[in-house]
Amino acid sequence: MNLMVISWTDIAQTAAAIGSAAAAIVALVISVKTLKQNSRMIEEASRPYITISFDSEVISGQDSFFIIKNFGKSSARITKFEYNEILKTTKQRDPVYNEQFDLVKGITLAPGQKKILYYNVAKIPNRPPFDFTIGYTSGKREYSDKFTLDSRNYLHIPQLRAHPEKKQDEMPILIEVMQEILTKMP
């Protein structure tokens, strides 16, 4: 019988080789995970973020509107825009206010760009919450977000407005209104 004798040196070298291989595999796994995380972070930092919100303003009367805006860092093309049917069927002062929701699909928004959709939600009975789904693309990436807006949270919130007592007091009020309009422009 021939017994093979393994020296302690051989055992130590084998253990060191196995340990080195394990360390290399762990380092490789960590590197791959780090690269994936960095890639996700870069994509999140540079992607578009299209949202829809609701607001109202009072100048001579209360006007309400939806605002579609790209808060992201790259442009995006809207490929899907779903909304409550009541927005299309509730009669407005001009039919274009009902039709505008169908025109959103296909719009491209640059970073910081917004589209304002004027709409008198006060004409809707009971004003239910509005549900929107916005799908959009940027490059080869596709995104989709859902929003629920309750106009009752925005309408009829008091806004301080000046009421001139004399004719000469109207000019400062007009200047204030113009400044407010300019601050809302992109």
The string of DSSP letters for 45-95 reads: HHS--EEEEEEEEESSSEEEEEEEEE-SSS-EEEEEEE--THHHHS--SST
What type of residue is 126? N
pLDDT of 1 higher than 80: no
Q: How far apart are CA 150 and CA 157, in angstroms?
A: 13
Confidence of residue 60 (pLDDT cuts 50, 70, 90): low
Phi, psi of 54 (to 5 degrees): -130, 145
**Lowest mean pLDDT: which of 54-63, 99-108, 141-150?**
54-63
Position with higher pLDDT, 171 vs 146: 146
| DSSP letter (8 states) at residue 117 | E
The pTM score is 0.69
Phi, psi of 165 (to 5 degrees): -90, -30
Check residue 98 and give its pLDDT. 92
Check residue 165 and give its pLDDT. 66
- Note the Cα 48 to chain centre separation in Å: 7
Could you tell me which residues are beta bridge partners of residue 178? none
Check residue 22 and give its pLDDT. 92
**Positive or negative CA dihedral for 42, 45, 46, 49?**
positive
Check residue 157 and give its pLDDT. 65
